[in-house]
Amino acid sequence: MTTSQISVIDSEVAIEIIDQNIQIVAIENPTAVLISDSGPQGPQGNQGIQGDQGIQGVAATIDVGSVFASEPGSSPSITNVGTSGDAVFNFVIPRGEQGPQGIPGEVQVSDLSYIHIQSVSSNTWTIVHELQFVPSITVVDSAGSVVEGDYSYPDENTVIATFSGGFTGKAYLS
């Protein structure tokens, strides 16, 4: 047996619910009702009729405005500098932190060469070429004849050529 009670303020009203049988006693018109317990929910009602179709609206547009890089660690932001129907978004995106130094790349040998001119007769030529590698060498004297010698490479940018006698000429490095 379920019993609920409803009280009405400023009037004498008593409502008693016993096994879904309702008894109501009311005196005068109530101005406020205080409900102390609720009954079980009733079944769902029928669906109402469908309303009229609304008018077709204008499609909004979205464009990208400016994109800026900000300092590393700052907050990204997007700002609409257009309207709600024609949006133009400006973006501010933080740059990443600078990474570590990468390994040096390799120099392409095929495009690099150096010609050394030896204008003072000597049997030892010091050739500084800045090619960043150990090059192949062909030495010719002032008459254009190829001269053989001994070569040492103290570093990747220097060749010391030693010959049996002194002469002037050119060294072709590649």
Give the structural domain span for 67: 61-94
Quote the DSSP letter at residue 6.
E
* Cβ-contact 92, 73 below 8 angstroms: no
Residue 17 lies in a domain: yes
- Residue 44 included in any domain: no
Residue 90 sits in the same domain as residue 114: no
DSSP 146: B
Mean pLDDT of 69-78: 91
Give the pLDDT band of residue 88 (cuts 50, 70, 90): very high
Q: Rounded to two decimals, what is the model's pTM?
A: 0.38
* Average pLDDT of the residues in 153-172: 94
Clarify whether residues 29 and 72 are in a common domain: no
Structurally, how many domains does the chain consist of?
A: 3
100 found inside a domain: no
Taking only the tens place, the pLDDT of each residue in 117-157 is 999 999 999 999 988 889 999 999 999 999 999 999 999 89
The verdict on 131 and 160 lying in the same domain is: yes
Q: In the predicted model, is pLDDT for residue 1 greater than 80?
A: no
Q: Is residue 50 in some structural domain?
A: no
Distance CA(97)–CA(78), nearest Å, equals: 21
Predicted pLDDT of residue 38: 60
